Amino acid sequence: MNTRAQLSLLLLAGASGAVDALAFTALGTVFAGVMTGNLVLLGVAVGDAAGGGSGYGEGVSGPLYALAGYVAGAALVARVCRGAARREGWPSRVVACLAAQAVLLAGVAVAGGVCEGRPGGVGRTVLLLVAALAMGGQSAAMVAAGAAPTTYFTGTLTTLVTGFADGSRRGSAQLWVAARLFGVVGGAVCAVALHARAPSWGFVPPAVLAAAAVACQKPAQRVRRAVTGKHKNPSRAPETETH
């Protein structure tokens, strides 16, 4: 995997960490991208109700909204990217879906700013749904690109640890994997710290990180399309090279 793709993965990991941290702290104590956590939270709410607890309704609704948004985003992007050719670099449809994700996160940032960083009621639910939709789309885009996941990291951590422990995976690739783990933590730290100090700006980091990830890919996409188009046009006379 080239450096440009690795940088995009690192930035997307940071965006994922930022979104989940904000979802947990400001959008209802749930996750926008870590569905394992939401399934556990759902089980906790149901178990609490079975044991006579009183928090069933609120505890169930948040994880269900996040799950619905995530599934919708993943399904939509999977259909858009279906059949996309995997050449060197990411398919243009994958990059387009990541750009759409950045737009969704920018919308969340604007709405969060309007709510002064502390949405409530229906507004909070809508922001959670949109954030989860964006994270589901990001996950499906990475699957379509044949890239590493950027919304869940248990498998990434396990691969990193086992690779170092048995000596089977070492080198620069493993350093990039480790960097993504630090990236998800760093994204969470940045978003929560900013939200605490300037709530109206707290939802901005995920959109910035996602947009930067797209920016890392777009120049490569344009160059590849230009080269591919040149080679696919046999009627065009070859240009004379000058040195």
Q: What angle do CA 166, 4, 75 make, to 5 degrees?
A: 85
Residue 240: Cβ-neighbour burial (10 angstroms; 0-12, 13-18, 19+): exposed
How high is the pLDDT of residue 56? 56
Mean pLDDT, residues 188-216: 96
- pLDDT at residue 239 is higher than 60: no
Q: How far is CA 162 from the centre of its chain?
A: 25
Residue that is written with structure tokens 């269900």 in the block: 64
More confident position, 90 or 19: 19
Inter-CA distances, 83 with 79, 94, 113, Å: 9, 11, 38
pLDDT tens digits for 164-173?
787 766 666 7
Q: State the amino acid at position 195 in one-letter form.
A: H
pLDDT tens digits for 168-196?
666 667 788 889 999 999 999 999 999 99
Q: Are 142 and 8 in contact (CB under 8 A)?
A: no
More confident position, 115 or 58: 115
Q: Are 151 and 209 in contact (CB under 8 A)?
A: no
How high is the pLDDT of residue 148? 80
For the residues of 122-145, what is the DSSP string, one character each?
Answer: HHHHHHHHHHHHHHHHHHHHHHHH
Question: Quick one: tokens of 204?
Answer: 């901005």
For the residues of 45-69, what is the DSSP string, one character each?
Answer: HHHHHHTT-S-HHHHHHHHHHHHHH
